[in-house]
Amino acid sequence: MQNDVSHLPYKLIFHKTHGDDCEYTTDEGILDLKTFGYKNRPKYVDVRDSVSTNFITYSFNGCFAYSTKDACQNAAACITDEISKKDRLIARQEGRLFTHTQGVSTIIYTDGAGIKVQVFLLCSTSESIQAQRADDNNYIIKIESKCACPGKCTDKSNGLTGGAVFIIILICIITTYLIISIIFLRFVKHEQGINLIPNRTIWLQIGADAINGVRFTISKVRGRDSYEKL
């Protein structure tokens, strides 16, 4: 791992969670740990140890526990031995400790036993991840990301965008219109079959116009190709 990890400050300032246990309030804003994870799988996978003689790869997920195979169950981080291909859990989401000082966020994880994983989140315009085994019981992960800058990123997966809300409302309106119109035509006008389609002539005209438009476009494209060949 690069030397800048070893030079990270050790004077720790503790901060309380904000809203839920994955949002942390700092003096610079809110850091949302959910932006460093996916809900059903690890966001960071196949990260090779920065020491070439350590034949292991890492997976890590912020906020959300994940499970893959073998011993990597309900995990925050796991390692895979590149030789034996066996997984080993090194961190769980429960009981993590968050600190933030001098622009660096630090999260300390454990496996519930003797293993400790320190994850350093560094505010940066670039995106990168590095990992290293210090010894059999201590691991370091460094992530550089704009989302490590407090207040810069928020997780939107739990909410709907304005466009999604608009589409849902539009579909509900159209569905309601069709149901009411069909009921009216069936039981008031006593229509049957294709005549139950509301404003049938208008929709048929729109369909015909669309077909004519496609045919016109195709004819223009074919005409252009023929001209270019000449």
pLDDT digits over 121-136, tens only? 999 999 999 999 999 8
Q: CATH code for 3-148?
A: 2.70.130.10
Both tokens assigned to 164: 């999604």
User: Could you tell me where the DSSP H helices lie in 140-199?
Assistant: 162-187
pLDDT at 18: 47
Whether the pLDDT of residue 226 is over 60: the answer is no
Whether the pLDDT of residue 115 is over 90: the answer is yes
pTM for the predicted model, two decimal places:
0.63
pLDDT digits over 22-38, tens only? 999 998 999 999 999 99
Q: How far apart are CA 100 and CA 115, in angstroms?
A: 22
Where in the chain is CATH 2.70.130.10?
3-148
Q: How far apart are CA 164 and CA 166, in angstroms?
A: 5
